[in-house]
Copies of this chain bind each other. A is one copy, B any other.
Amino acid sequence: MYGHQAIRNMSPAYPQFFRAAEGALITDVDGNEYVDLMCSWGPIVLGHRDPVVTQAVREQMEKGDCLDGPGPVLVDLAEALVDAIDDADWILFGKNGTDATTACLTIARAHTSRAVVLVARGVYHGAAPWCSPVPAGTLPSDRAAMGYFEYNDQADFDRAVEAAGSDLAGVMLTPFRHVEGEDQELVDVEFARHVRRRCDELDALLILDDVRCGFRFAHGGSWEPIGVSSDLSAWSKAIANGYPLAAVTGRESLRDAASAVFLTGSFWMNSTPMAAALATIRRLDAIDGVSLMQRAGARLRAGVLTQAADSGLTIAYTGPDVMPYMTFAGDVHHERMTRFAEAALASGVYLHPKHNWFMSCAMDDAVIDRALRATEQAFAAVRRHFGPR
């Protein structure tokens, strides 16, 4: 087993294979059912096997999927996304989040005829050699034109800009800082404005990597609520409720650069994931999905914080309510968090001890309360094992 879904680094209690899913619930291959707080690591935003999305996929399968050119659904979807996303004047589709972030880099370089792209240190932007968090098999030349700075640190950002000199093509940022095993950090609005201003001054591009947050944090770009615009954005995960699709959106001024670069893949024009995405976006809009997820997330946060306090355990519960993560104070090797996750699993909640969780629209009050009955057991297990603090 390989990839982010390999459980080799997790507790042996974790199941590797799953056989079913419905709404907010998943069932492992041995028949154990869990409330799924991971939402398949982000893609499931309406709930597993959402009937509206499934129906759209079935109907598209009757028409055709992988053809010699795209189907009309490409146009419908592109129009829906350009409508939904303020900063989007055009759109390209791919399969992986990494396809989208890599395309943003290439488009920024083609547009500016410059090389350097700055990213925040330790932040995940995909699995290509230029951004892989694991160096095995990658070369220093793969990231020869990357620069690094501390997220939310204006002075360090300015230092990286200075180092790039006249060769700065762009800056890529996630909407907030989510790094595996660390407390999450919302973006400092002043920092975001500062990056926008510096990019404008230097004719460099601001690239928002909305692969993980897009269509969960806000309906449209994740920085629309703070009013900071991007030039290019990368999308994937929640865009099609689990069907394989990624996208790049950009400003009109970047259309020529986006047309000049070479972006293609055998299945990039497949129609069924696009039909799934169109149904997902429309449904999220119709039911105000972001509000539903915020409500679920707020209920989970309140419940977890109460349980921690009642247990006499000190935790940090960070990030937006729709994508929270928790850590125990002083839990340097994640021992408490691992024990917490194991106990939660045994009590019927699937969550990850080192990765942020995700809310979906299928998480009504009853689901959250069911999850909270499991986390209550999990806090008790941590307290039993490690004592209060």
Contact = CB atoms under 8 A, between A and B. Distances in A.
Interface of A: 2-5, 7, 15-21, 26, 28-29, 36, 38, 40-44, 48-49, 54, 57-58, 61, 63-72, 74-75, 92, 94-99, 102, 105-110, 115, 127-130, 132-134, 136-139, 141-142, 144-145, 211, 236-237, 242-244, 257-270, 273, 350
Contacts of A54: 61
A98 B138 CA distance: 16
A4 B269 CA distance: 10
A66 B95 contact: no
B41 A5 contact: no
Contacts of A16: 69-70
A264 B242 CA distance: 15
Contacts of A259: 2
Contacts of A5: 68-70, 264, 268-269
B49 A127 contact: no
A74 B16 CA distance: 11
A262 B134 contact: yes
A129 B42 CA distance: 27
Contacts of A137: 105-110, 257, 260-261
Given A96-B96, A109-B138, A141-B144, A3 B64 contact: no
A18 B67 contact: yes
Q: Output the residue of A99, A133, A145 with the most chain B CB within 10 A.
A: A99
**Most chain B CB neighbours (cut-off 10 Å) among A19, A106, A262:** A262
B243 A69 contact: no
A263 B107 CA distance: 24
A66 B136 contact: no
Nearest to A74: B17
Contacts of A134: 260-262
Contacts of A69: 5, 7, 15-18, 28
A54 B62 CA distance: 10
Nearest to A131: B262
B258 A2 contact: yes
Given A29-B72, A69-B7, A128-B102, A262 B36 contact: no
Contacts of A19: 63-64, 71-72
A261 B128 CA distance: 11
Nearest to A99: B96
A18 B71 contact: yes
A265 B127 contact: yes
B3 A42 contact: no
Please give me the 5 A-B residue pairs with the lowest Cβ-Cβ distance, nearest first. A66-B242, A110-B137, A106-B137, A244-B267, A134-B262
Nearest to A132: B262
B43 A95 contact: no
A238 B117 CA distance: 36
26 contacts: A2-B263, A2-B264, A3-B269, A4-B264, A5-B68, A18-B70, A19-B72, A20-B64, A21-B67, A29-B71, A36-B68, A43-B266, A58-B58, A65-B243, A66-B242, A94-B96, A95-B96, A95-B267, A96-B99, A107-B137, A109-B139, A110-B136, A127-B265, A134-B260, A136-B260, A137-B257
A368 B60 CA distance: 28
A67 B17 CA distance: 9
A66 B92 contact: no
Contacts of A211: 266
Contacts of A95: 95-96, 244, 265, 267
A43 B66 contact: yes
A17 B139 contact: no
Contacts of A132: 261-262
